[in-house]
Amino acid sequence: MNASLQGLSEGRNLRTGSVPWDETDRSARIADPFPRRSVDIAILGCGIMGSIIAERLSARTGNIAMFDRRPPGCGSTAASTAEIMWAMDVPMLHLARRLGEAEAARRWRRVFHAVCALADHIDALGIDGGKVERPTLYLAGNVLDERGLAEEADMHRRHGLPSRFFNAADVSARFGIRGRAALVSDRGFEVDPVHLSHALLDRAASRGATISFPVDIVALHPDEDGVRLEAQDGQTLVAREVILATGYERPLLFLPPAFSLMSTFAMATPPGTAPIWKENAMIWEASDPYLYVRTNGEGRIIAGGEDVAEVREDARDAMIAAKAGTIAAKLEAMLGAGPLSIDRKWAATFGVSPDGLPAIGRSSLMPHVWLAAGYGGNGIAFAALAAELLEGALFDAPDPDAICFDPYRFD
């Protein structure tokens, strides 16, 4: 099979606007030459998904080649608001109605453990990337009202997940925002996504991984030694295994259509705006569409939401100013504070799935090709999960939970 379609994966302008992360982080790295040797693993994508996977797998083999069309972290990673939460967009209560409580809890617990392991790993590595643990505050809305949140909290507790139900008065007293019932959870954290991505790539490179960009891999060909990768300029490389971590530039021949795209919008206040609420909790809503907000080390308030199904770049980008204004207004109402100034605003493409869970696993179309698509709203959390599952599949034994995130589960 020659798996080639407009350059294997879609070409998209993944984000537009000005983000609050340090621009110099994205241009400081010097690219490695295209490798002249065969490798154990080739990873397509050097964003946060690819970097988390590469850092983990490089502990098992340094013979890894990474490729990206852009400088590392220059695509969707730089657009992320980087609230790392184990709770997912589809509530456990709703997922349990589809799958049964035991199976819903199995998936949620696995994501929870992956997020906790990532947090502990970042601490152990001593990465100075703005990682700070925060409580997460999930406010009642049109997806889960107060009663629904109480039921969700009960289900979390039954399965060992650290969540508690707070009534409106308790939320107001503890967090200093307008009273609204909420689920309060522990073990979430925030990061600078670009800095973290680069730090993990540095660690993978120190073990022998190469990071080549801009390189567009346009085709994959079966080979007796694995897979032969073909670049747009004609250069080739043989890899024993290939991981497609191309983010929201979908590899359409491999990723099922159930994993689709949307656009989201975000804004950031000037530095020094925070704190406005207590504990600088990461806040989001049990609503569709929902608002999500956090602070960073500079005292910016970073908020996003107002998602739309429109993914045409010109139409998406034309909405940035209005959407940023709407987000700011909703945020002022949520916090009971304001007015808030907008210092940065941007739009980005992101991926969703019917169950709010990612596509991680072996491709059904070509041997030795693997998908790592963090669709569902928790891209960085799902990257940690993908690294665990792929390490097991490639070096140890298949993980019994891998079936929960199989890319073809909707087929």
| Whether residues 280 and 178 fall in one domain | yes
List the CATH number of the domain containing 145.
3.30.9.10
pLDDT in tens, 309-365: 999 999 999 999 999 999 999 999 988 887 999 999 999 999 999 999 999 999 999
At 267 the pLDDT is 96
Look at the alpha carbons of 352, 353, 358, 363 in this order and tell me if their dihedral is positive or negative: negative
- In-domain check, residue 10: no
Give the DSSP letter string of 161-183. --EEEE-HHHHHHHH-S----EE
**Tokens for 89?**
């967009």
**Tokens for 409?**
């589960």
Task: State yes or no: pLDDT of 4 exceeds 50.
Answer: no
- In-domain check, residue 6: no
Look at the alpha carbons of 57, 58, 60, 61 in this order and tell me if their dihedral is positive or negative: positive
d(CA 262, CA 12): 13
- In-domain check, residue 5: no
List the CATH number of the domain containing 397.
3.50.50.60
At 152 the pLDDT is 98
At 2 the pLDDT is 39
* Band of pLDDT at residue 84, cut at 50, 70 and 90: very high
Is the Cβ–Cβ distance between 343 and 216 less than 8 Å?
A: no
Listed in sequence order, the residues at least 6 apart from 206 whose beta carbon sits closer than 8 Å to its beta carbon are none
- In-domain check, residue 56: yes
Is the Cβ–Cβ distance between 301 and 340 less than 8 Å?
A: yes
Give the residue, 13 or 224, on which the prediction is more confident: 224
Is the Cβ–Cβ distance between 382 and 358 less than 8 Å?
A: yes
Give Cα 184 to chain centroid, integer Å. 21
- Return the percentage of the chain with pLDDT > 70, whole number: 96
Domain count across the chain: 2
> Of 352, 369, 394, at which residue does a domain stop?
352
Is the Cβ–Cβ distance between 304 and 107 less than 8 Å?
A: no
Across 233-258, average pLDDT: 95
Is the Cβ–Cβ distance between 25 and 71 less than 8 Å?
A: no
Overall size of the chain counted in residues: 411
pTM for the structure as a whole: 0.94
**Tokens for 178?**
């307008």
| Whether residues 238 and 264 fall in one domain | no
Give Cα 211 to chain centroid, integer Å. 21
At 366 the pLDDT is 95
Across 13-29, average pLDDT: 74
- In-domain check, residue 336: yes
What is the residue type of 341? S
Q: Supply the DSSP symbol for 255.
A: S
What is the residue type of 227? V
- In-domain check, residue 4: no
| Whether residues 181 and 71 fall in one domain | no
User: Taking Cα atoms as reference points, which of 171, 182, 355, 325 lies closest to residue 258?
Assistant: 355
Q: Supply the DSSP symbol for 3.
A: B
Classified as helix, coil or strand, 151 is helix
Listed in sequence order, the residues at least 6 apart from 190 whose beta carbon sits closer than 8 Å to its beta carbon are 82, 83, 84, 130, 131, 132, 134, 282, 294, 295, 296
Q: Are strands 64-67 and 210-212 parallel, antiparallel or unpaired?
A: parallel
| Whether residues 142 and 177 fall in one domain | yes
Terminal CA-CA length for the chain: 21
| Whether residues 271 and 344 fall in one domain | yes
| Whether residues 136 and 175 fall in one domain | yes
| Whether residues 268 and 167 fall in one domain | yes
Give the residue, 202 or 411, on which the prediction is more confident: 202
| Whether residues 45 and 185 fall in one domain | no
| Whether residues 19 and 134 fall in one domain | no
- In-domain check, residue 291: yes
At 24 the pLDDT is 56
Domain span at residue 326?
86-191+259-352
> Of 325, 352, 379, at which residue does a domain stop?
352
At 81 the pLDDT is 84
Q: What are phi and psi of 341, to 5 degrees?
A: -85, 145
Which spans in 159-267 are helix H?
168-175, 193-206
Listed in sequence order, the residues at least 6 apart from 199 whose beta carbon sits closer than 8 Å to its beta carbon are 125, 127, 129
The region, left, alpha or beta by phi > 0 then psi within -120 to 50, assigned to residue 161 is beta
CB count, 10 Å around CB of 149? 26
| Whether residues 248 and 332 fall in one domain | no
| Whether residues 180 and 93 fall in one domain | yes
Listed in sequence order, the residues at least 6 apart from 181 whose beta carbon sits closer than 8 Å to its beta carbon are 139, 140, 145, 146, 149, 150, 165, 166, 167, 168, 171
| Whether residues 140 and 241 fall in one domain | no
Across 251-264, average pLDDT: 94
pLDDT in tens, 151-200: 999 999 999 999 999 999 999 999 999 989 999 999 999 998 999 999 99
As a whole number of Å, the CA-based R_g of the chain is: 21
d(CA 340, CA 326): 12
d(CA 26, CA 28): 6
pLDDT in tens, 267-314: 999 999 999 999 999 999 999 888 999 999 899 999 999 999 999 999
- In-domain check, residue 411: no
Classified as helix, coil or strand, 128 is coil
Q: Supply the DSSP symbol for 409.
A: T
> Of 336, 352, 368, at which residue does a domain stop?
352
User: Taking Cα atoms as reference points, which of 3, 118, 98 lies closest to residue 55?
Assistant: 118
Q: Supply the DSSP symbol for 279.
A: G
Across 54-80, average pLDDT: 93
